[in-house]
Amino acid sequence: MKESNSDYKIVFGIVPSRRLGQSLGISPIPKKTCNFSCVYCQLGRTTEYTRKRQIYYNVEYIINELKEYLNIIDSSQYDIITIVGDGEPTLYLSLGDLIKRIKKIQDKPVAVISNGSLMADPQIRKELSFADVVLLNFDSWDEQSFRKMNRPLNSVDFISRYKGYIEFRKEFSGIIYLEVMLVRGINDNVESITKIADLIKNIHPNVVFVNVPVRPPAEQWVKIPDEKIVIKAREILDAQRMDYLPTGDFTSIKSNPTKAVLDIIGRHPMREEDIVTFLKGRKSISEIEEVYNEIIKNLKQNPKVQEIAYGTTRFFRIKS
C-alpha cells in the first residue's frame, strides 16, 4: 500500500458526503482549475482560470489508480464513487469515457459534482448522462447575480447554462440534485430566492438542497445568512437543508492518523470536531485525546497547513 503524500494523485477518501453517503472521490483535474471563481469556494480563489477542456491525466492512468485503490479497501466501506474536482470536473476532456470505465470495473453508482458551466454544450450533457447522479449548483437568478456569486469566465452566460439544465433534465433519467448556496447580502432575501425557485421549477431536479458557506470561503466578506431566512428559503425552494445533513465517518487508507488528516484537508477544510469524529472511528476512547493532541501539534508545525478561524469554529486546510 502506498503511504507517502505523493502516493494517490487522483483517487481519495473515503470521505463522508452530506448528500451521497460514504464517497470514494476521483479528482481528474489539478487543484483550483475552474471556469468559475465562486465567492464562497472552500478551495480559495481560482488560480487556474480556464475554459479549455483537457486530458490532465489519461483515463488509463486514473483507472489503474482506482483499481489499485479498490484492492486495498473493502467495497462495503463506500456507497458511491464521486467525480469531484479540486476544480470543475467537466473541464476533464475524457469525462464520459472515464465514467463508463469506472462503471465497468465496479458496481457502485457514479456521481459527478459540477458547477454546470458547460451545460449549454450537448456533448457535455451526453458525457454527464453516463453518470447515475449529477449534482449541479444554481444560486443566482440572472446574469448580474451569476457574475457576482460565481464570477464565471466571460464565455459562460447565465441563460445558456440555464437552458442547458432544462435540456439535460429532458435527456437524463438519473438523479439530479441542485444546490442553492445562500450568501448574506447577495441572495439571502425573499425576492431573490423566489426568483431562483421559479427558475428551478423548469429544471425538475429530484432534490433541491439549500446550503450556506459553513467552511472558510474564498472571500473573507462572505457570511452565513440569518437562520430565519435560511428556514424561509427551505420553504420557498421546497428544499432540504444541507448543513443539517449528518456527515458520517471519515475513512482513510492511511494508517498514520496525521497523514490521513493531511489527506482530507488537502481536499477540503476540516473542523477540529471533524478530527475527533475521524478518531472515534478508529481509536479507543482512552487513546483519542493523546492522538488528537499529537495531530494538532503536527498540523501546527506543518508549514503547508493553514489554520483559519471562521465564525466560532477553527478549521485546518492545506494552503493554496
Q: Phi, psi at residue 80, to the nearest 5°?
A: -160, 155
Nearest Cα to 115, choosing from 137, 96, 93, 94? 137
Q: Which one, 205 or 217, has the nearer CB to ligand SF4?
A: 217
Subset of 227-256 contacting ligand SF4 (CB under 6 A): none
| Minimum CB–partner distance for residue 114 and ligand SF4 (Å) | 8
| Minimum CB–partner distance for residue 126 and ligand SF4 (Å) | 21
Name the amino acid, one letter, at 239: A
Q: Which one, 188 or 275, has the nearer CB to ligand SF4?
A: 188
| Minimum CB–partner distance for residue 66 and ligand SF4 (Å) | 22
Q: Which one, 153 or 288, has the nearer CB to ligand SF4?
A: 153
Q: Which of 17, 115, 211, 251 binds ligand SF4 (CB under 6 A)?
A: 115
Q: Which of 13, 28, 87, 269 binds ligand SF4 (CB under 6 A)?
A: 87
Report the distance separating Cα 131 and Cα 96, nearest Å: 8
Three-state secondary structure call for residue 263 = helix
Nearest Cα to 159, choosing from 123, 127, 116? 116
Q: Which of 15, 26, 29, 34 binds ligand SF4 (CB under 6 A)?
A: 34
User: Residue 192, CB half-sphere, CA atoms under 13 Å: how many?
Assistant: 22
Report the distance separating Cα 141 and Cα 194, nearest Å: 9
Q: Which of 23, 27, 37, 187 binds ligand SF4 (CB under 6 A)?
A: 37
| Minimum CB–partner distance for residue 50 and ligand SF4 (Å) | 11
Residues paired with 209 in a beta bridge: 179, 240
| Minimum CB–partner distance for residue 46 and ligand SF4 (Å) | 5
C-alpha cell at 266: 488537502
Number of residues that bind ligand SF4 (CB under 6 A): 11
Other CB atoms within 10 A of residue 122 CB: 12
Residue 90 DSSP label: G
Subset of 192-231 contacting ligand SF4 (CB under 6 A): none
Residues that bind ligand SF4 (CB under 6 A): 34, 36-38, 41, 43, 46, 85, 87-88, 115
